[in-house]
Amino acid sequence: MNDSIRFVRQPVAVAALVCCAWGAHAQVESASATADPGALSPVVVTGERSGGGVWRGAASIDVVDGESLRDGQAQINVSEGLAGVPGLVIRNRQNYAQDLQISVRGYGARATFGVRGVRLFVDGIPASAPDGSGQVANFPLGGADRIEVVRGPMAALYGASSGGALLLYTEEGQHPAQWRTGMVAGSDGLWRLSTQATGKTGAPKEPGWSYALDVSRFATDGARPQSAADRTNANLKLSRPHEGGRTVLVLNQHNSFALDPQGLTRAELSANPLSTNSAATTFNTRKSVAQTQLGLAFEQALGGGHKLELMGYGGQRQVVQFQSITTGAQVPPGSSGGVIDLDRDYWGWNARWRHEGDWQGGRLSVSAGLASDHQSDQRKGYENFIGSTLGVQGRLRRDEVNRASTLDPYLQAEWRSKDLTLMGGLRQTRTEYESTDQFLSNGDDSGRKTFRATLPVVGMRWQWTPVVQAFASVGKGYEIPTLNEVAYQNVVGASGFNTQLNAARSTSAEVGLRGRADRFRWNATAFDIRTNNEIVVESNTGGRAIFKNAGRTQRQGLELSGDWRYGPVSLVSALTWMQAEYLDAFKTCASSPCLVGSQVPVSSGNRIPGLPMQQAFVQAAWDTGWAGSRVVFETRHVGGVMVNDQNTDSAAGHTLFNLGLHFKQDRGDWTLREFIRVDNLTDRRHVGSVIVNDGTSRFFEPGLGRKLLVGLEAQRRF
């Protein structure tokens, strides 16, 4: 096989897109009449955007605007601009073969690669598969208008495996047209080039198509051996208004190639934190991805406050990954080898009816609809050796088709007045898995599994005083295992689909206060999450991760955030405290299959791995008034995290300091921006993230030392 990225086939036919739609999610509106993003809006709660959150909503939603995401940032990883969102743990692995590590109030912490348990959307189109797995590498940060982070019970209205949601919206084309281009260069051979163009055809009084294009290219040599990477993203959004509605077309493409440095053992980390385990270089571990996606949305006012919103999408994703699984571990008949070759077709649709009108002195919004998503994975596995040559594609060891599909009806209503908001929602989720084994020489490992749940959510907001509001919500949550997590069963002499693995069910509640004044905005939220049948690792050896259901877990926490501005000085802060622990003891395995005597206990009261107990962010900025300059100083603290369920080892907490100097000049139709940034000023040694429950004890992914980043951007209005 050619190790380079294979070209993606043309997008799947989307003839049915016009009968597909977006729903289950009402939108966040600003006070202006132009804030409605239409049928591509998946936000759960209707409310008024104000500062860093939603002022009149009954849920925890933070909004980070595009300028904040880009200002003084590399615009490569979504982790750069979201550190000020409480309750969100988003850590850069410094490994572009595995994507970022993201969890929301503890959901998603067990993911060893990609994102699980947190739903992702770009312009209203899912970046998460029906099984709950996703990736943020294709987020078009250069063209982002905003990212909305949804936390708490209301996130369950996105369906199964929605412990939280990250929603990125790209810019809308406006008059006058704008063009900007930028470049960034930094330590370890890092560079990024990007170009954005936005505008509208036609005249301002008779507009035609609105367009927004974002193209970017990024590469790095990496700080560790075997960590070089490159990525190309392109995103195009076209929209056109018509009488009573509009049509939106979104096309995006992602191509990437990354070497995989993997994690380090405790001994390797202590000896040299920027080293790479020999297994990674011996097998030349690497990953290539190619993805193309097309989406179409349509909305139409029906009169009398009624509206119809339709959306559909389709695409292909291809992944080739070379792992470092030893040759001996690939000998057993049930082994799937050490090379993953995945070819995925996916599509979905959503249809929503919505009605808004005045009722009983307030504004009533009601929506109902039906959503469906599908994925079909042609998954093959090969040995990663030929004779004594390692890191090459060998014999076929796995050939199967894995399918996942959802069909979710939903209903949501919100009544809002100046002093009170009442909200309720109900989503019935059904997910079907089917695996068809086409490699029958070692037996038929086909299987089928269906997950069902009904998820009710209620919430309210009460204006205590003109500047202080209280809010509360409670609801049911439902996390299904991914297709990867049901791939293997822990039975001696058996392999294939694990039909014994069930979904985790939870009850989530939150209560909070938020306030605002002329110069200060703040938010304080307490939450409690109780889960049954928590999905945990039973064993993770020989390249095979096997999962099971444990007992009960509890996540309790407090989120505090504030935004203070006085003249040229501003201060932004966020603090999260969370206690996440197992309430019931269970046993896990040190080998696979789980042999007698190889089980080890996990005690009641053990901390859930991958989750810091505390996390803090403080950013102070000063607009100096000299040459358009701005000085930014950041402090980021992350508490210690356990690396496995047994709590036998941990990554120590750390505090990092970052310093940036930004410049901006307006010269007629031109705007120039420059910045220089130094991260980790004190060159602090630290663990950036951990690989939870790694079977080889390579838990630790080292963070970067002191790094320099410089950037330049030019923008012109036409």
Predicted pLDDT at 112? 80
Measured CA to CA, the distance from residue 119 to residue 129 in angstroms comes to 9
- Which residues 6+ apart lie within 8 Å of 41 measured at CB? 22, 25, 26, 27, 28, 124, 169
Predicted pLDDT at 18? 30
Letter for the amino acid at 369? G
Question: 51 vs 235, which has greater pLDDT?
Answer: 235
Look up residue 173 and give its DSSP letter: P
Mean pLDDT (whole number) for 628-633: 95
If DSSP codes are grouped into helix, strand and coil, which group holds residue 282?
A: helix
Q: Is the pLDDT of residue 51 over 50?
A: no
Quote the mean pLDDT of the chain. 88
Query: Residue for token digits 């292909």?
Result: 316
Measured CA to CA, the distance from residue 30 to residue 172 in angstroms comes to 15
Letter for the amino acid at 347? W
Measured CA to CA, the distance from residue 619 to residue 289 in angstroms comes to 35
Predicted pLDDT at 50? 37
Q: Is the pLDDT of residue 688 over 50?
A: yes
Helices (H) and strands (E) counted in the chain, each on its own, are: 3, 43
Predicted pLDDT at 28? 32
End-to-end CA distance of the chain: 48
Q: Where along the chain do its domains lie?
A: 17-406+425-717
Predicted pLDDT at 1? 41
Whether pTM exceeds 0.85? yes
H-run or E-run covering 634: strand 629-638
The candidate with the shortest Cα–Cα distance to 3, out of 360, 407, 319, is 319
Letter for the amino acid at 58? A
Measured CA to CA, the distance from residue 496 to residue 508 in angstroms comes to 33
Question: 443 vs 317, which has greater pLDDT?
Answer: 317
Measured CA to CA, the distance from residue 713 to residue 217 in angstroms comes to 15
Q: Is the pLDDT of residue 200 over 60?
A: yes
Predicted pLDDT at 6? 35
Question: Is the CB of residue 453 less than 8 Å from the CB of residue 418?
Answer: no
Predicted pLDDT at 49? 39
The candidate with the shortest Cα–Cα distance to 210, out of 179, 169, 241, is 241
Q: Dihedral, CA atoms, 601, 604, 609, 611, nearest 10 degrees?
A: 180
Look up residue 393 and give its DSSP letter: -
H-run or E-run covering 332: none
pLDDT tens-digit readout, 373-430: 999 999 999 999 999 999 999 999 999 999 999 999 999 999 999 899 999 999 999 9
Q: Which fold has domain 17-406+425-717?
A: Maltoporin; Chain A (2.40.170)
The candidate with the shortest Cα–Cα distance to 380, out of 392, 395, 396, is 396
Q: E strands of 304-361, at which residues?
A: 306-322, 339-359
Task: Give the model's confidence band at 5: pLDDT under 50 very low, under 70 low, under 90 confident, else very high.
Answer: very low
Pair type for strands 178-186 and 707-717:
antiparallel
Q: Is the pLDDT of residue 9 over 90?
A: no
Predicted pLDDT at 95? 94
The candidate with the shortest Cα–Cα distance to 473, out of 413, 422, 523, is 422
Q: Is the pLDDT of residue 34 over 70?
A: no
Pair type for strands 614-623 and 569-582:
antiparallel
450-474 burial, b for 16+ CB within 10 Å, e for fewer?
ebebebbbbbebebeeeeebebbbb
Give the distance from CA 43 to its chain's centroid.
Answer: 15
Task: Give the model's confidence band at 20: pLDDT under 50 very low, under 70 low, under 90 confident, else very high.
Answer: very low
The candidate with the shortest Cα–Cα distance to 538, out of 433, 644, 641, is 644
Measured CA to CA, the distance from residue 133 to residue 274 in angstroms comes to 29
Task: Give the model's confidence band at 40: pLDDT under 50 very low, under 70 low, under 90 confident, else very high.
Answer: low
Question: Is the CB of residue 207 less than 8 Å from the CB of residue 183?
Answer: no
Query: Residue for token digits 């996105």?
Result: 158
